[in-house]
Amino acid sequence: MTYNDSNFLIETIVPEGEVIISRTDLKGIITYANETFADISGYKVEELIGKPHNLLRHPDMPRVAFEHLWTTIQSGKMWQGYVKNMRKDGGYYWVYAEVSGVYKDDVLVEYKSMRSPISKETITKMQRKYDEMKLKNKDMIRVIRYIPFDEYVELK
């Protein structure tokens, strides 16, 4: 994991009216990213192009969500869902995402994704839901704890 411990609790709010757009090849390698995507994720457009889309994967996201995403888009349908992504600096942002295939003459050539802001209430609800899913599936679990100062100094 690449987040640094001072940033991982810092949320970036996607401004109302902004849309994050990306396209990937059939393996999930980013082929297009708009400026909003770069701004919100903290990467430059050039850094995003050519990278796998799981560059942004946040450990709070349940594995099953992405399994479902891939089976849905591979079967020709659109996947809709809520995604928590990790920024380059380790912070995070939440979006509502729609992911689907791009077809040329009925042949699947790429995937595209459009993501927009969601409310604070939805974020709280989805964080709880994903935490529950991860517990149920014995997926990676987030633990935040308080420790005495001496222990903290030893950790450093």
Ligand X SMILES: Cc1cc2nc3c(=O)[nH]c(=O)nc-3n(C[C@H](O)[C@H](O)[C@H](O)COP(=O)(O)O)c2cc1C
Binding stretches for ligand X (CB under 6 A) = 22, 24, 28, 53-54, 56-57, 61, 66, 69, 83, 85, 99, 111-113
> What is the rounded distance in angstroms from the CA atom of residue 53 to the CA atom of residue 63?
14
Sign of the CA dihedral running 144, 149, 152, 154:
negative
Query: In the complex, which residue's CB is closest to ligand X?
Result: 54
Cβ nearer to ligand X, comparing 7 with 21: 21
> What is the rounded distance in angstroms from the CA atom of residue 41 to the CA atom of residue 94?
11
Taking phi first (over 0 means left), then psi (-120 to 50 degrees means alpha), and beta for anything else, what does residue 11 get? beta
Residue 123 Cβ, how far from ligand X at the closest point, in Å? 15
Cβ nearer to ligand X, comparing 88 with 112: 112
Tokens of 69: 């995403």
Contact by Cβ (8 Å): 127, 106: no
Residue 147 Cβ, how far from ligand X at the closest point, in Å? 30
Tokens of 9: 């609790």
Residue 71 Cβ, how far from ligand X at the closest point, in Å? 11
Cβ nearer to ligand X, comparing 28 with 42: 28
Tokens of 134: 């991860």
Residue 86 Cβ, how far from ligand X at the closest point, in Å? 8
Cβ nearer to ligand X, comparing 113 with 126: 113
Cβ nearer to ligand X, comparing 54 with 75: 54
Residue 56 Cβ, how far from ligand X at the closest point, in Å? 4
Residue type, 153: V
